[in-house]
Structure 1
Amino acid sequence: MRIRRAEPGEGARLNTGLRALSAEMGDTHRATDALIEAACFGPHVALYGLLAEVGDEVQGVVAFSPQLSTYRGAIGVYISDLWVAEAARGQGLGRRLLAAVRDEAARLWGPGYLRLTVYAHNPDARRLYDRLGFTDRASEVWMVLDGQALEVL
């Protein structure tokens, strides 16, 4: 298994894993290959992606971006998506992808923390994150403004 940063022209490859994650979570997947390519490799990078491969087959992906926390006084990493193919689960790939994010982000920003969101209906992912030492913050509530409300703003 090789884990590497996605390269220009591989937005579709990264999006294949992101699309698989959306399907498994029951989410609508609106991100096009062109959007992922532009977010990762356009003039204003908004997303970084890593691919885990065996030969030419993608076995896992992770998408992440920097974020600044004034509370922590540090630049951190928000992991927006992490997917491991069914055939590769239980082999430590999720942990390896998270470590690879840490290492890649250290090269770019020197992160002080990793942050992610886990679906309540994904107990396997929750067990992984708990084992690794992630903690939830009951005092924080994720809120989203989109669609018509975003336009009105």
Structure 2
Amino acid sequence: MSDISIRPAVPGDVEAVNRALSQLSADMGDAHKASDADIARACFGPAPVLHALVASGVDGKINGVAAYSPFFSTVYGSVGIYVSDLWVDEKIRGQRLGQRLLAAVHRAGHEAWEASFIRLGVYHANSRARAFYERIGFVAAEDTEFMTLAGDALRSLGEKA
């Protein structure tokens, strides 16, 4: 595992990052609508909204990806990091690469925005992921639930105001 290094993604990583995130979507049974162009624009366009770290071995193969974004919390009075995606190649799961990626996200977020916490979402049915996050100290928020407004409901938002 020590032969795997973690670094910020660069434009040349876009295809491999999207392939990894597509695999994550497949593993979770989710649709994956992001194209390479979407990832490139989100990470490296004129107004980046997504950051990514990649874990790769000496052979250059990407073994893990963490995608994240900053947000401000008035509850904490500081910047947090939202980890939208964390993927580790199934061949090396259980070797602490996920924990290393999260630690690298924390370092990058603290350096860039003085971020003081990490937030992420976990499917209720994904007991293996929940156990991993709890093992490293994440605590489930019992009093909040993520809600999403998208599609037709989002488009009609202005009509309802």
Normalising by the smaller structure, the TM-score range is over 0.9
Residue 52 (structure 1) aligned with residue 55 (structure 2): yes
Aligned to 1:83: 87
Give the C-alpha shift of residue 10 in structure 1. Answer: 2.0
Give the C-alpha shift of residue 14 in structure 1. Answer: 1.1
Q: Distance in 1 between matches of 2:89 and 2:128?
A: 13
Aligned to 1:29: 32
Q: CA deviation digits over 1:53-99, x for unaligned, max 9? A: 11221111010000000111000100000011111101000100000
Number of aligned positions between the proteins? 153
Query: Which one-letter code corresponds to 2:75 in the other structure?
Result: Y
Q: Distance in 2 between matches of 1:128 and 1:82?
A: 12
**Equivalences for 1:138-153 in 2 at 5 Å?**
138-153=142-157
Q: Distance in 2 between matches of 1:121 and 1:86?
A: 19
Residue 4 (structure 1) aligned with residue 10 (structure 2): no
Aligned-pair identity (%): 46
Give the C-alpha shift of residue 50 in structure 1. Answer: 0.6
Give the C-alpha shift of residue 8 in structure 1. Answer: 2.0
Gaps of 5+ in 1: none
Give TM-score scaled by structure 2 length. 0.92
Give TM-score scaled by structure 1 length. 0.97
Question: Is the CA contact (8 Å cut-off) linking 1:9 and 1:37 kept in structure 2?
Answer: no
Alpha-carbon RMSD: 0.8
